[in-house]
């Protein structure tokens, strides 16, 4: 599954580790303020194995978080 992102917005995203060698394998993680950058190359990186997780869902935050 691929999730489409609009650029320069914050999303609440969920992602799952797909690396069988990783102890996070098949665990799901929530990223509360996932920034979409340019709308492409949006990745959630596993802190254990360093690989890109599969992004399962992405919900546009409304309102967008205040960035100070």
Q: Point out which residues bind Zn ion (CB under 5 A).
A: 17, 19, 22, 24, 46, 48-49
Handedness of CA 41, 47, 52, 55 (dihedral sign): negative
Q: How far is the CB of 47 from Zn ion (least distance, A)?
A: 8
Cβ proximity to Zn ion: between 29 and 35 the closer is 29
Q: How far is the CB of 42 from Zn ion (least distance, A)?
A: 17
How big is the chain by its Cα radius of gyration, in Å? 12
How many Cβ atoms sit within 10 Å of the Cβ of residue 1?
Answer: 6
Q: How far is the CB of 16 from Zn ion (least distance, A)?
A: 10
């Amino acid at each position: 599954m691929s999730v489409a992102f609009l650029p320069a917005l914050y999303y609440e995203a969920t992602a799952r580790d797909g690396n069988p060698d990783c102890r996070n394998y098949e665990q799901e993680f929530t990223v509360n303020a996932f920034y979409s950058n340019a709308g492409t190359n949006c990745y959630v990186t596993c802190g254990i194995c360093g690989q890109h997780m599969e992004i399962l869902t992405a919900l546009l935050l409304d309102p967008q978080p205040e960035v100070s």
